[in-house]
Structure 1
Amino acid sequence: MWTSVNMEAYLALTCHYINENLQLCTSVLGVQYFPQSHTAGNLAQVKRGMMEDWAITNKVKCLVTDAAPNMIASTRQLQIRHSITETLNSLNLLVRKSCDQIPTLTSIRHKARHIVTYFRSSTTAKEELAQVQQQMGRTTLKLINEVPTRWNSTYEMLSRLHDEREPVWVSLTSLKTDLTPLTADEYNIIGEALLVLAPFHQATVELSEERRVSGSKVILMMKMLYLALECNASDLRTQAAIHLHEHLKRRVTDTASNLESLSVLTLATLLGPRFKSFGFRSSSKCNEAVSRLRSECASIIDYRRTNEPQPGPSAQQLSAPTSDNLWQHLDSEVARQAKSATADAIQEVQRYLAEGNIARSQDPLQYWDNQKATFPHLFRLALQFLCTPASSVPCERVFSTAGELVSKKRNRLNFKILEQLIFLNKNL
Structure 2
Amino acid sequence: MERSKESAVWRFFTLASPTSPTALCNICKRQVSRGGDNVTRYNTTNLIRHLQKHHAKEHAEFVQLTNSKGKSTTKQATLADTLLRQEKLPTNSIRAQKITARVMEFIVLGLQPLNIVENVGFRRLMDYLEPRYIVPSRKYVSETALPELYSKVRKQISGELKCAKVLSFTTDIWTSDVSPMSLLSLTVHWLNPTCEHRSAMLGAKNFRGSHTSDAIATALTTMIDEWEIPFDKVHVMLSDNAANMKKAMGSMKVCNLGCFAHTLQLIVNEGLLSQRSLNDALTKCRQIIGHFKHSQLSYSRLHDIQIEMQMQPKRLQQDIKTRWNSTYYMMQSLLEQKRALSAYVADHDLPATLTSLQWALLERAMIVLAPFEELTRKVSSSTASAADVIPAVTVLKRILGKESDCDSGIKTMKTTLLQAVNNRFSAVEDEPLYALATLLDPRYKDRYFTGADFAKKAKDALIKELEEEELRSTTSDATDEAEPPEKVPHVEAAATTLAPPPAAAAPSSKSSFMQEFEQILVECEEPGAASTSSIAVQVQTYYSEKTVPASDDPYQYWGVNRQRFPALAAVATKYLCAPCTSVESERLFSTVSNIMDEKRNRLTADRVEMLAFLSKNLLQGLE
TM-score, with normalisation over the residues of structure 2?
A: 0.60
Structure 1 residue 32: Cα displacement: 1.0
Alpha-carbon separation, structure 2, partners of 1:203 and 1:276: 19
User: Is 1:221 paired with 2:392?
Assistant: yes
Alpha-carbon separation, structure 1, partners of 2:384 and 2:581: 11
Point out the structure with the larger helix share.
Answer: 1
Alpha-carbon separation, structure 1, partners of 2:478 and 2:599: 61
User: Is 1:40 paired with 2:213?
Assistant: yes
Q: Quick check: 2:287–2:352 contact (8 Å CA) kept in 1?
A: no
Spell out, residue by residue over 1:95-123, the C-alpha distance to the aligned partner (whole angstroms, 9 max, x if none).
01210121111111111110111123222
Alpha-carbon separation, structure 2, partners of 1:186 and 1:25: 47
- For structure 2, the residue ranges without an aligned partner over 5 or more in a row are 1-172, 480-531, 619-623
Q: Which among 358, 361, 365 is matched to residue 193 of structure 1?
A: 365
User: Is 1:376 paired with 2:566?
Assistant: yes
Aligned length: 392
User: Is 1:113 paired with 2:289?
Assistant: no
User: Is 1:395 paired with 2:567?
Assistant: no
Alpha-carbon separation, structure 2, partners of 1:348 and 1:21: 19
**3-state DSSP of counterpart to 1:252:** helix
Superposed counterparts of 1:13-52, under 5 Å? 13-52=186-225
Q: Quick check: 1:15–1:26 contact (8 Å CA) kept in 2?
A: yes
User: Is 1:265 paired with 2:455?
Assistant: no
Structure 1 residue 351: Cα displacement: 2.7
Structure 1 residue 375: Cα displacement: 1.4
Alpha-carbon separation, structure 1, partners of 2:407 and 2:448: 31
Structure 1 residue 207: Cα displacement: 2.1
Aligned position for 1:246: 415
Alpha-carbon separation, structure 2, partners of 1:416 and 1:184: 56
Structure 1 residue 296: Cα displacement: 0.8
Q: Quick check: 2:191–2:198 contact (8 Å CA) kept in 1?
A: yes
Higher relative contact order structure (alpha carbons within 8 Å, sequence separation ≥ 6): 1
Kindly report the root-mean-square deviation, in angstroms, between the aligned alpha carbons of the 2 structures.
1.9
Spell out, residue by residue over 1:58-102, the C-alpha distance to the aligned partner (whole angstroms, 9 max, x if none).
211111111111111111111112222x12111111101210121
User: Is 1:234 paired with 2:404?
Assistant: yes
**3-state DSSP of counterpart to 1:28:** strand
**3-state DSSP of counterpart to 1:294:** helix
**3-state DSSP of counterpart to 1:203:** helix
Q: Quick check: 1:236–1:242 contact (8 Å CA) kept in 2?
A: no
Structure 1 residue 276: Cα displacement: 0.8
- Letter of the 1:226 counterpart: K
Between structure 1 and structure 2, the one with the greater Rg is 2
Q: Quick check: 1:16–1:25 contact (8 Å CA) kept in 2?
A: yes
- Letter of the 1:348 counterpart: Q
Superposed counterparts of 1:323-334, under 5 Å? none
User: Is 1:75 paired with 2:249?
Assistant: yes
User: Is 1:151 paired with 2:324?
Assistant: yes
**3-state DSSP of counterpart to 2:240:** coil
Alpha-carbon separation, structure 1, partners of 2:245 and 2:451: 29
**3-state DSSP of counterpart to 1:276:** coil
Alpha-carbon separation, structure 1, partners of 2:611 and 2:556: 34
Spell out, residue by residue over 1:207-234, the C-alpha distance to the aligned partner (whole angstroms, 9 max, x if none).
22x3434321122112122222234x22
- Letter of the 1:358 counterpart: V
Q: Quick check: 1:17–1:24 contact (8 Å CA) kept in 2?
A: yes
Give the 3 Å change call, closer, same or farther, for CA 237–69 of structure 1 in structure 2: closer
Structure 1 residue 402: Cα displacement: 1.4
Aligned position for 1:206: 378
Give the 3 Å change call, closer, same or farther, for CA 37–237 of structure 1 in structure 2: closer
Aligned position for 1:364: 554
Spell out, residue by residue over 1:350-383, the C-alpha distance to the aligned partner (whole angstroms, 9 max, x if none).
3322222111121112211222122111111111
Aligned position for 2:472: 303
